[in-house]
Amino acid sequence: MPEKSDGRMDYRKKDKRMRRIMAWIVGCICLWTTAYAERIMIVSDLHLSEPFTERAREWSALAEKAQDCDAILFLGDNTDNGKVNEHEYFLQCIDSLEKQTGVSVFVIPGNHDIGMHYSREDYERDYWDWGNAQAFARDTDSASCAVMLSESLCLLLLDSTRSDKGSSRSLPYGGFSETTEMWLKQVLQSLSEDMRILACGHHPILSSGRVNQTTGADRIVQILRDGHVIAYLCGHEHGFGTVKEHALREIVVGQIQAYPCCCGVVQVTEDTVLWTTEALFDPQSTVYQERKKAALDLAYRMAEGTLKGTVHEGDQEAIGWFSEVFMASSEDRLTADFCQDMLNKDACRKWREIETRTVVRDWVLGLLETPGESVRQILLWKKAV
């Protein structure tokens, strides 16, 4: 266990360690001796930075929803710049969240968390209590570890922020070392066949072509498939999405601070493992309406900027069409009928006529031409009858 050298963040005092260890033991005993049900909240890409008060409403809403959960997973990019004060604030928040709600908190790093301001050694030291302290297996080459949430549910916390050789900064698209791959194989081989296994990391390994950009992702995918992992949960892309290839389901988790302000929830029972998205705020609340307006403003600026200098510059019909698709994507309303209707509109023709291919143009047309699955509710596993 890493020792703290400078005293900057004393989050591993003996009384706190003993309190968390005893709570963990008692929780496990209760889970193993009673009818099993568990709710796990999933949060990603908070990108905390000053002024921290801007996120007070999100933390309050998280604490309220956590009352009905047993664990919360933070999937990385918890800080925006990986600065010490950002990590200090986040650590204070999750410590307070755990004390206030009694929920177990687990954290993995993202590429924004480890870099010039905050080394991998800093991270592994200061975040020891939020994963490694409860782990039955730990990787020696990264912050990856494996935790038993019950006698039949294993959680793989995978550190996908492998640093580039000769650099303290994490790779933007992440990576896994060969040592981590070997460790993961050994962990999966040690688990019983009836074990339900959830894996999580910061970077996608299946969706949006990340498999070609994340070092070692193709091998990690194969290892997870061979190990009968039922789902891989990740962030990084700031929006919800899902894809399934063969036996592995990947779910990308969006940001709670971005409209429509949803978190992910995994509901585990003896017979099923179910994924859902849940809103943090009431649709009539002020904060929800503020986030919606911000999303509309962003869509307008994206469309306006993309059309600038083209034959359709300033075309309000084309801008409105893009904004409608953008909001439907945010709200998980990209049904087959909706997509076909939008593709048939004259405004769609205008977007196709843009002389220069752009990321925004290709993205919005791709949403409609190859709509993905809904992420509102996904049955990840069902007990065989």
Tokens coding 149: 């949430």
Q: What is the pLDDT of residues 331-365, one digit of tens each?
A: 999 999 999 999 999 999 999 998 777 889 999 99
Pair 53, 175 in one domain: yes
Residue 119 CB neighbours (<10 A): 14
Pair 109, 204 in one domain: yes
Pair 360, 267 in one domain: no
Residue 2 lies in a domain: no
Q: What is the pLDDT of residues 298-314, one digit of tens each?
A: 999 999 999 999 999 99
CATH number of residue 198's parent domain? 3.60.21.10
**Mean pLDDT across 84-93:** 95
Full 3-state SS string of 170-221: ECCCCECCHHHHHHHHHHHHHCCCCCEEEEECCCCCCHHHHHHCCECHHHHH
User: How many structural domains is the chain composed of?
Assistant: 2
Pair 45, 145 in one domain: yes
pLDDT bracket for residue 37 (50, 70, 90): low
Residue 134 lies in a domain: yes
pLDDT at residue 7 in the model:
45
Instruction: Kindly report which listed range (184-188, 232-236, 368-372) carries the lowest average pLDDT score.
Output: 368-372
CB 375 within 8 A of CB 277: yes
pLDDT bracket for residue 26 (50, 70, 90): very low
3-state secondary structure of 355: coil
Pair 335, 356 in one domain: yes
Tokens coding 200: 């999580």
Pair 250, 123 in one domain: yes
Pair 233, 357 in one domain: no
Residue 33 CB neighbours (<10 A): 9
Question: What does DSSP say about strands 196-200 and 153-157: parallel, antiparallel, or unpaired?
Answer: parallel
Residue 85 lies in a domain: yes
Residue 57 lies in a domain: yes
Pair 51, 37 in one domain: yes
pLDDT at residue 371 in the model:
85
Residue 9 lies in a domain: no
Pair 221, 72 in one domain: yes
Pair 353, 306 in one domain: yes
What are the CA-CA distances from residue 54 to residues 2, 49, 57, 105 (Å)? 33, 9, 8, 22
Pair 176, 302 in one domain: no
% pLDDT > 70, the chain: 86
% pLDDT > 90, the chain: 71
**Mean pLDDT across 236-254:** 91
Residue 53 lies in a domain: yes
Residue 1 lies in a domain: no
pLDDT at residue 170 in the model:
61
Residue 7 lies in a domain: no
Please give the mean pLDDT across all residues of the chain. 87
What secondary structure letter does DSSP report for 105?
E
In which domain, by residue range, is 261 found? 14-282+376-382
Q: What is the pLDDT of residues 151-180, one digit of tens each?
A: 889 999 999 987 655 455 566 778 899 999
Pair 269, 334 in one domain: no
